[in-house]
């Protein structure tokens, strides 16, 4: 989740509903200005005993952040605590239990994206070596209870931790125990956004399956391949899900605004502090009737904050966010943007992907979303066969889309190589979680601590 900084003087009050679509309209870009933004989280652990370090202990999370400043990162503070870093490669921030996230810079091609990821991992590993800290690329803590995890000193997290149990049974698990990879992509127009949104939403269960990497809870198999994805099914129904209205006639910016106005608020940021507005209505805020700020009306920054508090499988702000994948190691961090860029950034590929999914009913899409976390590529496909069959077709389209982009590195290679790890998964039929389960039941002999051998 993004890190809020102090509001600037240039933060106009929202005077009319027309202003609410401006972030989406301003996000429109010609194709030659489309960029790729990749976000990835990792679990942080002490190598000596595999526990999650607290924020303020020696060589804890704060010291990790401060250690990264030697690479040119600048600290961002909240309430006197360093809670994020800003730099040329984007931002490093903290999830609620100390999961470390890189929100990468907007980049032109996947070669740059993968180089950025490599730089970040080299930097955190260098600091980790000094502090006896390692990192896991998984979708969920494999062995930790909620009670064993620290809480980071960020005001918005205090509010969310209080609110989550009121609206679902697994929201605290989402906040404290999960990690993801996410890709942020541009669009040229409202119509282009709509088509990309629909393809992204329909195929998000496929991304969940290919990247499924969270089969353990508290040291034992949990019956799922992506338990992280399953957690979202009972986190907060008002702000999650497959969004049937996206596929309805007339969907566009205004319909998204209407949806976001129905999403309950979490907070308002004022004078460097978060004010608890959990469960309140942004519509009331627009009318000056927000109970925690009576008579005050929202600014554009308040609206931007609110846009970041919905968590569907695909999210719209001034770009589209693909949100369905579990956290993973370096090669899969590079593979996720390759998957979506290949499908969405070439018109021929986008058209082919839409042709593949446009006949799926909403019931079929919902069923696929339900099945993918447990069955991954073995889930039944809407048109018959399995999701593995769909994956073969989709990866062909993605390969073609990346080849058509013609983005070459210094060696003359295009971007299709970043899909190789996904090609191998589909060829074998085994997603990452299934390989972890094979190890757990085989060479690990049920010893979950062996999972830390997967660290980087």
Average pLDDT over residues 60-75: 98
Which among 381, 378, 428 has a CA at the least distance from the CA of 209? 378
Instruction: Look at residue 286 and tell me if it is in a domain.
Output: no
Query: How high is the pLDDT of residue 5?
Result: 62
Domain assignment of residue 289, yes or no: no
| Burial class of residue 355 in the structure, from the number of CB atoms within 10 Å of its CB (0-12 exposed, 13-18 middle, 19+ buried) | exposed
* Predicted local distance difference test score (pLDDT) of residue 456: 85
| CA–CA distance, 110 with 274 (Å, rounded to integer) | 36
Q: What mean pLDDT comes out for the span 158-175?
A: 98
447 lies in a domain? yes
What average pLDDT does range 283-298 have in this prediction?
A: 98
Spell out the residues 6+ positions from residue 248 whose beta carbon is closer than 8 angstroms to its own.
255
pLDDT given for residue 109 in this prediction? 98
Q: What is the pLDDT of residue 250?
A: 97
Report yes or no: 171 and 236 within 8 Å, Cβ to Cβ.
yes
Q: Which two tokens stand for residue 52?
A: 């999650």
Residue 125 domain-assigned (yes or no): yes
Round to whole Å and give the CA distance between 144 and 162: 20
Residue 219 lies in a domain: yes
Q: Give the mean model confidence (pLDDT) for residues 6-10.
A: 62
Confidence of residue 1 (pLDDT cuts 50, 70, 90): low
HEC string of the chain?
CCCCCCCCCCCCECCCHHHHHHHHHHCECCHHHCCEEEEEEEEEEECCCCCCCCCCCCCCHHHHHHHHHHHCCEEEEECCEEEEEEECCEEEEECCCCCEEEECCCECCHHHHHHHHHHHHHHHHHHHHHHCEEEECCCECCCCCHHHCCCCCCHHHHHHHHHHHHHCCCHHHHHHHECEEEEEECECCHHHHHHHHHHHHHHHHHHHHHCCCECEECCEECCCCEHHHHHHHHCCCCCCCCCHHHHCCCCCHHHHHHHHHHCCCCEEEECCEEEECCCCCHHHHHCCCCCCCCCCCCEHHHHHHHHCCCCCCEEECCCEEEEEEECCCHHHHHHHHHHHHHHHCCHHHHHHHHHHHCCCCHHHHHHHHHHHHHHHHHCECCCCCEHHHHHHHHHHHHHHHHHHHCCCCCCCCCHHHHHHHHHHHHHHCCCHHHHHHHHHHCCCCCCHHHHHHHCC
Q: How far apart are CA 78 and CA 62, in angstroms?
A: 12
What is the pTM for the complete model shown? 0.97
Percent of all residues in the chain with a pLDDT value above 90, rounded to a whole number: 97
Amino acid 195: pLDDT: 98
Q: Give me the pLDDT at residue 2, please.
A: 56
Indicate the average pLDDT of the chain.
97
Q: How many angstroms separate the CA atoms of 314 and 244, rounded?
A: 12
- Total of domains in the chain: 1
Identify whether 111 is part of a domain: yes
Is the pLDDT confidence value at 7 over 60?
no
pLDDT at 8: 56
Mean pLDDT over 324-352 rounds to 97
pLDDT in tens, 184-238: 999 999 999 999 999 999 999 999 999 999 999 999 999 999 999 999 999 999 9
Q: Answer for the pair 53, 123: CB distance below 8 angstroms, yes or no.
A: no
Q: Is 119 exposed, middle or buried (0-12, 13-18, 19+ CB in 10 A)?
A: middle
In the predicted model, is pLDDT for residue 6 greater than 80?
Answer: no
Using the CB atoms, write b or e for 104-117: b if 16+ within 10 Å: bbbbebbbbbbebb
**Parallel, antiparallel, or unpaired for β 320-326 and 314-316?**
antiparallel
Rounded mean pLDDT of 367-375? 98
- CATH value at residue 317: 3.30.590.20
Q: What is the mean pLDDT of residues 7-17?
A: 83
Q: Is residue 41 part of a domain?
A: yes
State the average pLDDT over residues 362-390: 98
Give the list of residues 6+ apart from residue 288 with CB closer than 8 angstroms, or none. 294, 295, 296, 297
Whether 12 maps to a domain, the answer reads no
pLDDT at 10: 84
Mean predicted confidence (pLDDT) in 423-443: 98
Domain that holds residue 33: 17-263+310-454
């Amino acid at each position: 989740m993004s890190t809020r900084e102090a509001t600037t003087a240039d933060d106009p009050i929202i005077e009319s509903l027309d202003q609410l679509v401006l972030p989406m309209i301003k996000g429109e870009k010609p194709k030659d200005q489309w960029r790729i933004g990749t976000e990835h989280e990792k679990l942080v652990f002490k190598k000596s005993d595999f526990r999650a370090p607290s924020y303020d202990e020696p060589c804890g999370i704060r010291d990790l952040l401060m250690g990264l400043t030697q690479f040119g990162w600048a600290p961002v503070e909240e309430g006197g605590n360093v809670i994020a870093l800003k730099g040329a490669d984007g931002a490093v921030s903290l999830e609620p239990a100390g999961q470390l996230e890189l929100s990468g810079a907007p980049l032109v091609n996947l070669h740059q994206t993968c180089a950025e990821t490599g730089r970040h991992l080299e930097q955190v590993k260098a600091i980790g070596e000094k502090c006896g800290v390692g990192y896991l690329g998984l979708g969920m803590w494999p062995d930790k209870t909620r009670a064993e995890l620290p809480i980071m000193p960020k005001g918005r997290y205090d509010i969310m931790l209080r609110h989550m149990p009121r609206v679902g049974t697994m929201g605290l698990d989402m906040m404290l125990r999960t990690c993801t990879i996410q890709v942020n992509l541009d669009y040229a127009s409202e119509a282009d956004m709509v088509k990309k949104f629909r393809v992204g939403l329909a195929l998000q269960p496929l991304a969940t399956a290919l990247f499924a990497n969270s089969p353990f809870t508290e040291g034992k198999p949990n019956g799922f391949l992506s338990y992280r994805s399953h957690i979202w099914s009972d986190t907060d129904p008002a702000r999650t899900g497959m969004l049937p209205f996206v596929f309805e006639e007339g969907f566009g910016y205004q319909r998204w605004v209407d949806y976001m106005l129905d999403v309950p608020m979490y907070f308002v940021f004022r004078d460097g502090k978060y004010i608890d507005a959990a469960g309140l209505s942004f519509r009331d805020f627009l009318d000056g009737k927000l109970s925690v700020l009576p008579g005050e009306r929202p600014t554009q920054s308040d609206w931007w904050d609110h846009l970041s508090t919905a968590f569907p499988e695909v999210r719209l702000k001034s770009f589209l966010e693909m949100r369905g994948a579990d956290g993973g190691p370096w090669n899969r961090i590079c593979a996720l943007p390759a998957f979506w860029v290949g499908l969405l950034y070439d018109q021929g590929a986008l058209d082919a992907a839409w042709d593949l999914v446009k006949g799926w009913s909403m019931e079929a899409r919902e069923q696929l979303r339900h099945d993918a976390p447990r069955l991954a590529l073995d889930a039944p496909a809407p048109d018959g066969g399995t999701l593995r069959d769909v994956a073969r077709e989709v990866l062909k389209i993605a390969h073609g889309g990346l080849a058509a982009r013609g983005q070459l590195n210094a060696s003359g290679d295009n971007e299709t190589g970043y899909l190789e790890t996904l090609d191998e998964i589909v060829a074998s039929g085994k997603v990452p979680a299934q390989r972890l389960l094979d190890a757990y039941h085989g060479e690990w002999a049920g010893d979950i601590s062996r999972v830390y051998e997967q660290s980087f």
